[in-house]
Structure 1
Amino acid sequence: MRAEDLVGIWIIESFHMEDCATGLRTQPWGERPSGTVMFDPEGRMFALITPDGRSHPKTEAAEAVAYRSMLAYSGRYRVEPPNRLVTVVDIAWFEPWVGSEQIRYCELSGDSLTLTSAPLNMPQQNAAVFAVVCWRREGALREPNRDAV
C-alpha cells in the first residue's frame, strides 16, 4: 500500500474493540457510530468518531459525558510497507496519545478500508485492546443490503 492510496475522506462503517487477553469484542460507540477520517496528500490525517444515539447535551454533566464518548486525533502520517500506517499524534482528545506513534494495519479493497490497531490502551477500556475500524471512501456506494441486517 502507498500513502496516496489513503488520500481522501473516509466515512465510518463499523468499529469494534477486541480485548487482547480474552478476545472479547465490544462496540463502545454502538452498532452505527458516526465518524470521518481524512488523509491529505501532504501527510496529515484527522479522525473523529462519535457514538450512535448521541443527543444534544443540555447540562455540564451531559457535556462531560459527550466529550468522554468521542474519539478525535490528528497528526502527520506515513505508510510503511507493506501495510503499516503510522500517525505521529500532535493533538488528541486523549492527552496520553499526544507525541505518540499510533500504529494501524491497513486492508484496502476498492473503496473499503479496514484499519486494525496494534495493541493499545483506550480511556474507555480497562485492558489492552485491538481496535478494528471499517471505513468507506466518501462518495462510494454502499454494498446492496448492507443496512438490511
Structure 2
Amino acid sequence: MERPSAEQQWQSRTGPQLGTWKLQSFTDEDLATGQKTDLFGAHPSGYLSYGPDGRMSAILVKEGRKPPDTLVPTDAERVDLYSGLIAYAGTYSIEGDKVSHHIDTSWNQSWTGTTQVRQFRIDGNALYIKTLPAKNPMTGKESSAVLVWIKVE
C-alpha cells in the first residue's frame, strides 16, 4: 500500500479523531470458530492518541499484569510482561471509514514499517475501531478485533 500524499496527510489532521482515547474493551473474534475472547481481560488499559501533526501512538496493556519481583525482570517475567502488551507509533491517514496506521516503531518488530488499516466510527465520546481480518500477532490465528475507546476530556 502506498504512503498517503502530503495533501492526504494534511486533510487527516483535523476532525473528531484528534486527541487522546482511553481503552475500554478489546474483544478478538477467531474467524474460524466465531469464538470471542477478551485477550487482555475484561478491563484492559491503554491509550490511543491522534495528533494534529499527523502522528499517532497506541499502547494496550493486559489486565492484571504482575510487576517483576525486582527492578530488572527475570526472563520469565519479561515474557509474561511482553505477552500482555501492544505498543506502536507512527503516522496516520483517514479515508472514508478507514484509518491507516503507518507504523514507524512497535513492540513487535514485524509490524514496524507496515500499514495497519482499521475501520472506525465515532459515536459521541466513543471511538470504535475494528481490525480487518488478519493473523493476530498475539495468537497467530485469523481474527478480527473490536476495540472501544472513550475520549479523554
TM-score by length of 1: 0.87
Supply the distance in 2 between the matched residues of 1:63 and 1:95 (Cα, whole angstroms). 16
- In the alignment, does 2:80 pair up with 1:65? yes
Deviant stretches of 4+, over 3 Å: none
Supply the distance in 2 between the matched residues of 1:28 and 1:42 (Cα, whole angstroms). 32
Supply the distance in 2 between the matched residues of 1:122 and 1:21 (Cα, whole angstroms). 13
- In the alignment, does 2:33 pair up with 1:22? yes
The equivalent residue for 1:37 is 48
- Deviation at residue 64 of structure 1 after TM alignment: 2.2
TM-score by length of 2: 0.85
Task: Give structure 1 stretches of 5+ with no counterpart.
Answer: 140-149
Task: Give structure 2 stretches of 5+ with no counterpart.
Answer: 1-11
- Deviation at residue 13 of structure 1 after TM alignment: 0.7
Sequence identity (%): 32
The equivalent residue for 1:8 is 19
**Is residue 13–residue 52 contact of structure 2 (8 Å, CA) maintained in 1?**
no
Q: Secondary structure at the match of 1:95?
A: coil
Q: Secondary structure at the match of 1:125?
A: coil
Equivalent residue in structure 2 for 1:118, among 105, 114, 132: 132
- In the alignment, does 2:130 pair up with 1:99? no
The equivalent residue for 2:150 is 136
- Deviation at residue 19 of structure 1 after TM alignment: 1.1
- Deviation at residue 21 of structure 1 after TM alignment: 2.1
**Is residue 49–residue 70 contact of structure 1 (8 Å, CA) maintained in 2?**
yes
Supply the distance in 2 between the matched residues of 1:95 and 1:39 (Cα, whole angstroms). 22
